[in-house]
A and B are shown apart, each in its own frame.
Chain A
Amino acid sequence: MSMDAGFVIAVGTAVLLMMAVFIIIFVAYYQQKQARQQLAFKELQAQHRRELMEATFRGQEEERRRLAEDMHDGIGTMLSITKMSLNQLEKQLGGEVQVGFQFQKTRSMIDETMTNVRRISRNLVPTTLERFGLLAALEELADRATDNDIEVELVYPEPELGFLPALELMLYRIAQELLNNAIRHARAKHITIHLIRFENEVRLSVIDDGVGFDFDAVMENRKAGLGLRNIESRLNVVNGHVTFDVAPGRGSRIHVQVHLHDAQPVDLLS
């Protein structure tokens, strides 16, 4: 073997190996740098999406409050005045039986309308939640939903939860939506709402014995899946998640989980 060939092999191998090492270092460094940028970009996008959702929910709550105030102060007051005016008119017209019966009927219609206005107004802005907290509001929600056919039960091991008002409102809205779905769509007879706080986590579960639903089919339908998508969007804001243990023909189990250290929702009540 000539020394020239040996020299060529040694130098060639050394050069190739050096190039290979350089390429490997470059790929590792450049890929890491690109991946970091990509991650930062994705985080920025997610943050932007969260901010948009926060703004949407804040706007929604403000609109609900305005509507509730208008209904209570405007329509409610007008109905009260109408009722008083009707009473006065009845007194002025005298005690004819036929007319008295008509007045009585009109008064009960006004009363019913006033009750409905109050109910809608209360649903739009949960004043119990603002005054007495989440558990009281959920109890009220369960009581209002319970009747001869439907039984709604609230289970909570701890009487004191100590959540931020905005998180309480978010959980209340989710419970309200799930309860509404269970009654209206799943035709459930017995619904249980569980609310449990662990050290750094809160779990809200709504379990019913209704007819269930096909999750994929509902989510594919833009209109039908709006409520469930709304729940997911609310939870996205606080990095929470929801698990749907559902199927057609059997009761549903829907679990919501929020890590409390991640949950810094914007104050929707302000």
Chain B
Amino acid sequence: MKRRTVGITGIGACIPQQILSNADLEQRHRVSDQWIRRRTGVVERHVCTREQATSDLAVPAARQALAAAGLQPEELQFIITATMTPDHLWPSAGSTIQGRLGAANAGACDLNAACSGFVYALAVGTQLVRSGLYDNVLVIGADVISKFVDWTDPNAYLFGDGAGAVVLQPIADQEEGLIDFMLGSDGSRGDILQLPAGGSRRPSSHETLDQGLHKPVMDGYDTFEFAATAVMDSIEKVLAKTPYSIEDVDLIVPHQANQRLFRPVAKWLGIPVDKFFVNIERYGNTVAASVPIGLYEAVHQGRLKKGHLVVLTAFGAGLTWAGAILRWTYSPNEHHEILHS
């Protein structure tokens, strides 16, 4: 069967209305705005209310992406949601979102590759369209990590909540669209970034709560070293699968893990640091949502234009890391600020 060319034909993004600024954290914990900025680059992050959950952010983002692509929910054939914080352990966030959208003709599931999840899901979604199995696929990256971090642990100040969504469809053969992917994993080092309890190994119990096992474990040194290496590896490997070199790339939209990551990586790649799209100062690290939120803002701020060669890079728990290379094919009719829920 002939392989089809696949493009992003619509994009949406949504963050919670509620802002948690460094000034708020200063008042609640023994930490300074200056310390958080220097260590992470984050100035404020948006966090859900007690009542909100992942699908509350994903559904508005999805509706916006569908409207941008001119699609009705009933026309969707598959929804794949990258998340590690679904509304419930089961059913999947994908099914929850499918139901709330009224996408009655779509299959739906989740994909968990932590912060790499959106790029992984984009790779899977692309193949579903490229193969001819489906014409209209929705790929979502959405996480509400604020409910799972320990706000007395400084590592928590990195994080925020959000959702982003893209529609994938076949596009004209002479276009490039989504060109190639690299997906990596090293489960043997999974323990450097982990939520110990709440799964089938250690189900939630009074004991796990008393032992503090529902707080993420994150080794700062190992995580930063892994992240820097993973960004390099994903960019170099995905480029090596194409005729392009780093000089041909117009914009890199990375997972927003920590602002401190981009200067060394730009130095090693021999590129100006502003080739990386960075918005971590306003949203923090939004896990699987950070890449689609970055794409959304880059497009709506005019940094990303039709015809640009774009590289996506992401890395996270697993360990997992992923890269994508694409020729940007979508331009919005109007420029919009990111949605708030």
A binds B: no
Q: Chain B interface (Cβ within 8 Å of chain A)? A: none
